[in-house]
Amino acid sequence: MEEVNTETGEVTGALAPIDAGSKEVGAVDEDLLAQLAADAKDVAAVERTSLYPSLRITQDKKFVLEGVNLKDPFRCIILLAAFENSYYKAAYDPDEIAPPDCFALGYEEDLLAPPADLATKQADACAICPLNEWGSGRGKGKACSNHRKLALLEPEPKSVKDGQVCFVRLAPTSLANYAKYVKRVAAMHTMPPYAVVSRLSFDKDKGYPVVTFETEKLISDPTFLRGIMDLRERIKPLLIEPPQSKAAVEEKEAKPEKKEKRAKY
């Protein structure tokens, strides 16, 4: 129970405020402090700071955002692209969605590495991981899947601030198309992907979803482009947030869908 000194205003007792920089904190039982630190890490891990929804690419070649099937081609501005590697020990089970056993996210492929404190990491860096080698998975494939994670902005918002942003994960089968598209935009227009409106569609000759990319038009408004550049900086850390924990995934799946929402795209 806390007590307040009526003369000095000092608060003492079990609920007294603690000065985080005070060495007196060390006087508390070390085992208790260790448990509190571990619990703090666990509860922080399941909380999401990103407010941006995920765009799903379905096996029947559809773009789905917040339960809404979007038009094909899907028009957008590609703000950012991160590298993402993920390894699952168990085979995919649609009824048991879980985070990867090992993962890495970043903007430089050669520097990708799992979090240093990840208990189930398979190597200290992706470049030296045997599971990231061709032939380590089924057939000639890799046991660890290589993806690109993109941040997208609706193509014609009233302002960048009001525009809807979403994240999408490109499967390995679409990575070559994306890389070629980025190089094509740079060669033909001397522009980065975020300075053009892009059209995403599906390769009609494939029986599975392979995303294709085309340029619709260049963005010429200087104010709009500066707004995009500012938005990119704000989104950068959010795009490479660690995957959700199993508990967070289960909680999200348990929540009913909000059917009234409609995507702006």
Q: Is residue 139 part of a domain?
A: no
**Which pLDDT belongs to residue 11?**
46
Q: Is residue 17 part of a domain?
A: no
Torsional class of 207: left (φ above 0), alpha (ψ -120 to 50), beta (otherwise): alpha
CB 114 within 8 A of CB 102: yes
Q: Which amino acid is at 226?
A: R
Q: Is residue 110 part of a domain?
A: no
Q: Is residue 105 part of a domain?
A: no
**Which pLDDT belongs to residue 255?**
52
pTM above 0.75, yes or no: no
Q: Is residue 157 part of a domain?
A: yes
Q: Is residue 244 part of a domain?
A: yes
Per-residue pLDDT tens, the chain, 265 aa: give them: 445 455 555 545 544 444 444 444 455 678 888 888 888 776 665 554 457 899 999 999 999 998 999 999 999 999 999 999 999 998 866 667 788 999 999 999 999 999 999 999 999 999 999 999 999 988 888 999 999 999 999 998 888 988 999 999 999 999 999 999 999 999 999 999 999 999 999 999 999 999 999 999 999 999 999 999 999 999 999 999 988 655 444 445 455 444 444 556 6
Radius of gyration in angstroms for the set of CA atoms belonging to the chain, rounded to a whole number? 23
Burial of 109 (0-12, 13-18, 19+ CB in 10 A): middle
**Which pLDDT belongs to residue 78?**
97
CA 26 to chain centre: 37
Query: What CA–CA distances, in Å, run from 174 to 65, 70, 241?
Result: 19, 19, 22
- Tokens representing 153 are 């902005």
Q: Is residue 165 part of a domain?
A: yes
Q: Is residue 238 part of a domain?
A: yes
Query: What residues make up the domain containing 196?
Result: 54-98+144-254
**Which pLDDT belongs to residue 47?**
52
